[in-house]
Amino acid sequence: MAEFKVVEKFVSINGEGVRAGQLAVFIRFLGCNLNCNYCDTKWANTDNTAYEVMNEFEIYKYIKDTGVKNVTLTGGEPLFRDYMVVLLRLLGVDESINIEIETNGSVDFSGLLEVCKNISFTMDYKLPDSGMEAYMCLGNMEILRKIDTVKFVSGSIEDLQRTKEIIKQYNLTEKCHIYISPVFGKIDPADIVEFMKDNHMNDVNLQLQLHKFIWSPDKKGV
Ligand code: SF4
Could you tell me the domains of the chain?
3-152 (3.20.20.70)
Q: How far is the CA of 36 from the centre of ligand 1 (A)?
A: 5
Q: Regarding beta strands 23-29 and 52-55, do their DSSP bridges make them parallel or antiparallel, or are they unpaired?
A: unpaired
Q: For 6-15, write each residue's pLDDT tens digit.
A: 999 999 999 8
Q: How far is the CA of 152 from the centre of ligand 1 (A)?
A: 13
Identify which has the larger pLDDT, 212 or 37.
37
Identify which has the larger pLDDT, 47 or 201.
201
Q: Judge if the beta carbon of residue 34 lies within 6 A of ligand 1.
A: yes
Contact (Cβ atoms closer than 8 angstroms) between residue 5 and residue 199: no
Name the band, by pLDDT with cuts 50, 70 and 90, for residue 146.
very high
Q: How far is the CA of 38 from the centre of ligand 1 (A)?
A: 8
In this structure, of 39-43, 62-66, 72-76, 155-159, the range with the lowest mean pLDDT score is 39-43
Residue nearest atom 5 of ligand 1, based on CA coordinates: 35
Ligand 1 atom with least separation from CA of 132: 6
159-170: average pLDDT = 98
Ligand 1 atom with least separation from CA of 38: 7
Quick one: pLDDT at residue 214? Answer: 80
Name the band, by pLDDT with cuts 50, 70 and 90, for residue 116.
confident
80-98: average pLDDT = 93
Residue 175 has pLDDT above 80, yes or no: yes
Q: How far is the CA of 7 from the centre of ligand 1 (A)?
A: 15
Q: How far is CA 28 from CA 65, 76, 155, 195, in A?
A: 17, 7, 24, 33
Which residues in 33-138 belong to E strands, given as ranges? Answer: 52-55, 70-74, 98-103, 119-124
Q: Judge if the beta carbon of residue 70 lies within 6 A of ligand 1.
A: no
Q: For 47-66, write each residue's pLDDT tens digit.
A: 889 999 999 999 999 999 99
Quick one: pLDDT at residue 212? Answer: 79
* Cα-based angle 71, 106, 35 (whole degrees, multiple of 5): 90
Residue nearest atom 6 of ligand 1, based on CA coordinates: 36
Q: Judge if the beta carbon of residue 39 lies within 6 A of ligand 1.
A: yes
Residue 216 has pLDDT above 80, yes or no: no
Q: How far is the CA of 133 from the centre of ligand 1 (A)?
A: 12
> Which of 7, 28, 36 should be mutated for ligand 1, with most atoms under 8 A from CB?
36
